[in-house]
Amino acid sequence: MLLLALAPLAADVTQCVCDPAKPETMQARECSLCREAEKQPNGTKVFFLKDINPRKPNRWLALPRRHLPAQHSLAALTPAERTGLWRAAIDRAREQWGDRWALAINGDRVRTQCHTHLHIGRLIEGVETPNFVDVDGPEHIPVPEDGTGLWVYPVGGRLRVHLGEQLTETVLLR
Ligand SMILES: [Zn+2]
Ligand SMILES: [Zn+2]
């Protein structure tokens, strides 16, 4: 149990060299979401996957189909792609959880999969910290440039974005 809990900290996806033009480069375990992206029909912009971890039965992922270099950072998406990803994830999250939805993206140091993925879930009670900004819509969600993650949930018609953390998906119900 302890080993399982520590495993994500040992992964390093920041040096991933996977390239969709060369399928043999996407065989590593940390590239399994890349392989899922390749299975999606051409023209797909965003797709959803159920989290395969049996210990997280309530979780879904939202992913862009397009691959980005190395750790597939949010910053490497175009602004339109990024807004589209957030918007699709929010719609999906709201469908499942009403106004208790939240989205989280982990920082580079704790991610176990290279391909960009947002975690979708229900916000756990009492996890809020003072380190946040409120924004008017998905197009205004800040883009981390330093490898940190963020988590987002709705407050009074706006979006509250918590910044500067590595492990963020823990604010979501498993
Ligand atoms: Zn990879
Ligand atoms: Zn990929």
- pLDDT confidence bin for 11, thresholds 50/70/90: low
Domain count of the chain?
A: 1
CA 52–ligand 2 middle distance (angstroms): 17
CA 69–ligand 1 middle distance (angstroms): 9
- Residue 86's domain comprises 2-171
pLDDT of residue 6: 46
Tell me the pLDDT tens digit for each residue of 130-163.
999 999 999 999 999 999 999 999 999 999 999 9
CA 59–ligand 2 middle distance (angstroms): 20
Mean pLDDT of 113-141: 96
Which of 5 and 65 is assigned the larger pLDDT?
65
Q: Are 104 and 59 in contact (CB under 8 A)?
A: no
CA 131–ligand 1 middle distance (angstroms): 31
Ion ligand 1 neighbours (CB, 5 A) are: 16, 18, 31, 114
Which ligand minimizes its atom distance to the CA of 28?
1
Ion ligand 2 neighbours (CB, 5 A) are: 34, 67, 115
d(CA 11, CA 111): 7
Q: Are 150 and 135 in contact (CB under 8 A)?
A: no
pLDDT of residue 66: 97
d(CA 111, CA 134): 25
d(CA 113, CA 36): 12
CA 64–ligand 1 middle distance (angstroms): 14
Which ligand minimizes its atom distance to the CA of 14?
1
Tell me the pLDDT tens digit for each residue of 46-91.
999 999 999 999 999 999 999 998 889 999 999 999 999 999 999 9
Chain-centroid distance of CA 120 in Å reads 8
Which of 14 and 66 is assigned the larger pLDDT?
66
Sequence-distant (6+) residues with CB within 8 A of 128 are 160, 162
CATH code of residue 31: 3.30.428
Give backbone dihedrals phi and psi of 23, rounded to 5 degrees, phi first: -50, -30
Q: Which residues are bridge partners to 154 per DSSP? A: 159
pLDDT of residue 44: 97
Mean pLDDT of 3-27: 74
pLDDT of residue 7: 47
d(CA 68, CA 78): 11
Least confident of 10-24, 123-137, 156-170: 10-24
Would you say the pTM of this structure is higher than 0.85?
A: yes
* DSSP run (H or E) holding 155: strand 149-155
Is the per-residue pLDDT at 9 higher than 70?
Answer: no
DSSP class of residue 54 equals T
